[in-house]
Amino acid sequence: MRHNLILRVIAKILIPVIILFALYVQFHGDYGPGGGFQAGVIFSVAFILYALVFGLDTAERVLPVSVLRLLASLGVLIYAGTGFAALLLGGKFLDYNVLAADPVAGQHLGILIIELGVGITVSSVMLIIFFAFAGRGRV
Amino acid sequence: MDFILGHYNYWIVIFLMMIGFYTVVSRGNLIKKIVGLNIFQTSVFLLYISIGNVKEGTTPIVAEGFTQYSNPLPSVLILTAIVVGVATTALGLALVVRIKEAYGSIEEDDIHDQDQSL
């Protein structure tokens, strides 16, 4: 597919839009439909499209699997870290109320951070699965 | 008659569930089995989400002028189930890839024949 001009041009136009939509879904999750799971999958779709059109090696140069593994654990760390931060601030585990000065702001901050962790983990795990499948049989 | 038409979501769920079940049982191709399993899964998602829907209810988001909203709990449950479904599908496909590498086939009959001839 390396020489398919139409596909390459359309993909270059589509990929930023997909990433932008993923970020919208990610950070709109507290007020509207959205959240980390959906945004993570949409985000990874952008990179899977890139890998399909421009080749697996190019995509792995952009996002190496070692970096993706770190990101996958970073997301879990953000999730658990928020819970322990709430514990240290005097609340219960994952009790967002104590994260900011007043409970409503704390709830907003808490759910945004939690969903960010979920989004990072989901998108990187999706890409790891894709690279693991697509990279098989290629020594 | 109203009893049957009024519960149309159950009929859709049963229809999809039986399609998925039949595909899993009748097809020898392992990829088709996974597709059937996914259709089965989707029917369970639909069952839960359609039960959680409240008549005239909005999406469970705080907004001016809306007091009645659908039950968010089944949706949250199914969000987790969808993620688990993706993981099980990935596991199933990984097993199929290994079977293909070991036997050179993803047809169940071929795999059984090769096992018998050993």
Q: Which residue in chain A has the smallest CA separation from B92?
A: A133
In this structure, is residue B45 part of a structural domain? yes
User: With an 8 Å Cβ cutoff, are A129 and B79 in contact?
Assistant: no
Q: Please report, for the domain that includes residue B75, its CATH number.
A: 1.10.287.3510
In the predicted structure, residue A91 carries a pLDDT above the cut 70: yes
pLDDT in tens, B58-93: 877 777 888 888 888 998 899 889 989 999 999 999
**Domains contained in chain B, number:** 1
Q: Do B82 and A32 touch (CB under 8 A)?
A: no
Report CB contact under 8 Å: B94, A133. Answer: yes
Quick check: helix, strand or coil at residue A135? coil
In a domain, B8, yes or no: yes
Residue B40's domain comprises 2-59+69-116
User: Is the whole-model pTM more than 0.80?
Assistant: yes
Could A37 and B94 be called an inter-chain contact, meaning their C-beta atoms sit closer than 8 Å? no
Q: Which residues pair with B69 in a beta bridge?
A: B58
Find the residue in B nearest to A35 (Cα).
B79
Residue B64 in domain:
no
- Chain B residues with CB inside 8 Å of A137's CB? 101
What residues in A contact B82, CB-CB < 8 Å?
37
What pLDDT was estimated at residue B24?
94
